[in-house]
Amino acid sequence: MKAGVRIWPADKWFSLCVRLSSDNICQNCGGQATDCAHIYSRKKFTVRWSKDNAIALCRKCHEAFGREPCEWTDFIDARWPGRRDRLILKMQGIGKNTPEIRALISTHYNREYRRMEKTGDRTFETWN
């Protein structure tokens, strides 16, 4: 079994919202976005489901940035100045990860995704 970060329904709905918000277009190369790439690790529960902590990427770009963390940081800083600094402040809070909280987050992003699909609006409200 591959070790890693566990995936919950909240992750699925959050990822769908992130990708739909970019019309499923990779924010680096313009290809088909298949991945929700986190700026800071999903292990950081204070920002795991935060809209500012994720962007839509294709698998190729996501893997390339994973191999080159300095290029990833440079890309984020050039495209969204100040975003990492805001996330660092947000990470100083306490992020609880309980089944009840994950269920609330899942419901929130499920509703946001359904609304985005129905209305064509590509903005969504972040959980935190």
Q: CA geometry: angle at 7 spanning 115 and 36, to 5°?
A: 55
Residue partners of 17: CB distance under 8 A and separation at least 6: 51, 109, 112, 113, 116, 124
The DSSP code for 119 is: H
Q: How far apart are the first and last CA of the chain?
A: 32
Instruction: Please state the pTM of the whole predicted model.
Output: 0.93
CA pair distance 121, 112, nearest whole angstrom: 10
Q: What average pLDDT does range 80-107 have in this prediction?
A: 93
Residue 62 pLDDT > 50: yes
Average pLDDT (102-127) is 97
Is residue 60 within 8 Å of 32, Cβ to Cβ?
A: no
Band (97; pLDDT cuts 50, 70, 90): confident
Q: Quick one: what percent of the chain has pLDDT higher than 70?
A: 97
Look at residue 93 in the predicted model and tell me its pLDDT. Answer: 85
**Cβ(52)–Cβ(127) below 8 Å:** no
Identify the band that residue 128 occupies on the pLDDT scale cut at 50, 70 and 90: confident
86: left (phi over 0), alpha (psi -120 to 50) or beta: alpha
Of 16 and 1, more confident: 16
Give the per-residue pLDDT at 3: 56
Give the mean model confidence (pLDDT) for residues 42-50. 94
Q: Tally the C-alpha atoms within 13 A of residue 59's C-alpha that lie toward its C-beta.
A: 1
pLDDT at site 2: 47
pLDDT, position 1: 38
